[in-house]
């Protein structure tokens, strides 16, 4: 995703294991349901950030402090970076030393599940760095297991590759994703929509998958849905809008809008679609950045979202007002995020919510 890729291996479809989370009554809850806390990972030195490492760290710390106003935040950091991370994040954000290589907790961290009776477990997806392999070793494929072990929480090892940013759920059986990302042969070559729908039913308790088309131009993940669309509540979808017919993202928007208009959720409800205009274009390193207001974090009683312009920017203000209307009763906090997006993602990409509940014991 963010470094020079080698020729990827081929991953064949796999059979379901004997036991999957749905067998134990588990499902993935919506992001607006109560949280025990939030997990993040600290930006590491390397080719991703180059000279922008310190600004990125300052922005990550600002996001962590903003979320910590609403719920606990735990930051993983390399042992040699832990003290600097603790200084920038402040006393409200504990820092845990860990062997990390990158800083995108949404994608390589666990996806948490609930059983409806107060129990919480986690799925550990296979992770191959957004469909690529690299010369250098990576530890990020083990971060999910590290977190679940620290929590003494049950871990379900999934038999396929997935990143958390490629899916969004409403907590009532509906999942939204993109064909561009999930059908990418660099991840799970040979797998079909039907294969994914079966796996999502088994691992996330999903009854219906809504397939959008593509992600945004400039998205190094090749189609993550969390910069294109997200659920605001059951039956309501927030959608990234581009009205400029000369912009590549206009065709993306029109196609995804049509798909949403022609389908329903798992309960048979037609979607209410609320659009948010895309931010002004910004290029970095000779390519377009995939800026989006859709990529926000829902906290207990709050929304932490991106700002891209100068204070008072018209588009920033309009997006903020939309989220205030959509999430009444939650305080909306904007954090300057260009230095995060320069690495290839946004606030939703660098966070992972842990639902409230008692950890189910490991097998």
By annotation, the residues acting in catalysis are 349
How many angstroms separate the CA atoms of 43 and 41, rounded?
Answer: 7
Contact between 164 and 352 (Cβ < 8 Å): yes
Q: Name the one residue in this structure whose structure tokens are 């000369």.
A: 246
How many angstroms separate the CA atoms of 319 and 295, rounded?
Answer: 11
Contact partners, residue 138, CB within 8 Å, separation at least 6? 101, 102, 129
Q: In 77-142, which ranges are continuous DSSP H helix?
A: 82-89, 105-108
> Interior CA angle at 69 toward 64 and 71, to 5°?
80
- Nearest-CA neighbor of 42 among 360, 350, 354? 350
Q: Name the one residue in this structure whose structure tokens are 């590491």.
A: 44
- Torsion angle of the four alpha carbons 21, 214, 209, 168, in this order, in degrees rounded to the nearest 10: 50
Contact partners, residue 194, CB within 8 Å, separation at least 6? none
The DSSP secondary structure of 27-66, one letter per residue, reads BPPPTTS-EEEEEEE---SSTTTGGGHHHHHHHHHHHHHH
> Interior CA angle at 64 toward 108 and 149, to 5°?
40
């Amino acid at each position: 995703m963010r470094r020079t890729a080698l020729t990827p291996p081929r991953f064949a479809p796999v059979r379901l294991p004997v036991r999957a989370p749905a067998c134990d009554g588990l499902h993935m809850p919506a992001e607006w349901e109560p949280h025990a806390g939030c997990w993040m990972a600290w930006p590491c030195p390397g080719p991703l950030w180059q000279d922008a490492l310190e600004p990125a760290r300052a922005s990550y710390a600002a996001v962590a402090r903003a979320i910590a106003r609403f719920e606990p935040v735990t930051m993983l950091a390399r042992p040699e970076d832990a003290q600097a991370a603790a200084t920038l994040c402040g006393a409200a954000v504990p820092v845990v030393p860990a062997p990390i290589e990158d800083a995108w907790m949404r994608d390589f961290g666990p996806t948490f599940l609930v059983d409806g009776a107060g129990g919480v477990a986690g799925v550990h997806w296979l992770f191959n760095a957004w469909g690529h392999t690299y010369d250098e070793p990576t530890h990020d494929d083990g971060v999910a297991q590290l977190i679940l072990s620290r929590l003494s929480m049950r871990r379900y090892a999934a038999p396929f590759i997935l990143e958390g940013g490629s899916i969004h759920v409403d907590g009532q059986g509906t999942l939204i994703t993109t064909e561009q990302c999930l059908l990418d042969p660099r991840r799970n070559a040979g797998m079909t929509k039907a294969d994914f729908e079966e796996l999502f039913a088994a691992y996330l308790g999903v009854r219906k998958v809504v397939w959008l088309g593509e992600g945004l131009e400039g998205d190094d993940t090749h189609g993550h849905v969390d910069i294109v669309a997200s659920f605001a509540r059951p039956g309501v979808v927030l959608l990234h809008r581009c009205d400029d017919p000369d912009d590549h993202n206009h065709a993306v928007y029109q196609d995804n809008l049509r798909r949403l208009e022609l389908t329903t959720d798992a309960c048979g409800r037609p979607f209410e679609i609320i659009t948010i205009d895309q931010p002004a274009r910004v290029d970095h390193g000779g390519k377009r950045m995939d800026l989006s207001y859709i990529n926000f974090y829902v906290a207990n009683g709050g929304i932490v979202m991106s700002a891209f312009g100068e204070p008072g920017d018209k588009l920033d203000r309009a997006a903020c007002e939309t989220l205030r209307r959509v999430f009444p009763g939650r305080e909306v906090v904007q954090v300057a995020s260009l230095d995060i997006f320069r690495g290839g993602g946004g606030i939703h990409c660098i966070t992972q919510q842990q639902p409230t509940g008692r950890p189910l014991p490991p097998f």
